[in-house]
Structure 1
Amino acid sequence: MTYPPQPGYPQGVSDKSKIVAGVLQILLGGFGVGRFYMGDTKTGVIQLIVTLVTCGIGSLWGLIDGILILVNGGVDAHGRPLRD
């Protein structure tokens, strides 16, 4: 589902939310859920594999990634910046 362009946002802003992606990544980042939400399946699968191989220690990557998404934003699978 795509949203119409929001007032104040440049054309080409993603329909995915930075807040949702960041919170999903913080809570379920070990499974790559925030990255799957953003459409970045490659990184999501790698995060899942790292978490499984390291017996859960790799989930720290997801936590840090979620914080970075909330602070710096990110891009969706099409390279568009996430909306606020």
Structure 2
Amino acid sequence: MAKLKLGAIEDDKPIKVAHELPAIVHRDLAAYAEILAQETGQPVQDPAKLIAPMLARFMAADRSFRKARRARQRATGGEG
């Protein structure tokens, strides 16, 4: 079985964002949801729910983003 980059999806208070996806991206997202459900044993009712954790994982893995964000936080003295 494939080792996917995402694990089980945690519930969190959502912020609604509307965005159109190309059909091929939606098909891939649906396929990813099916494989993830097989791997984790937890069905994914709505493949769109994978978008947020995928984006979070992408940003967490982006070293340049993390470095720039830390520098920005130090410069502003805040969390943002």
TM-score, scaled relative to structure 1 = 0.30
TM-score, scaled relative to structure 2 = 0.31
Larger radius of gyration, structure 1 or 2?
2
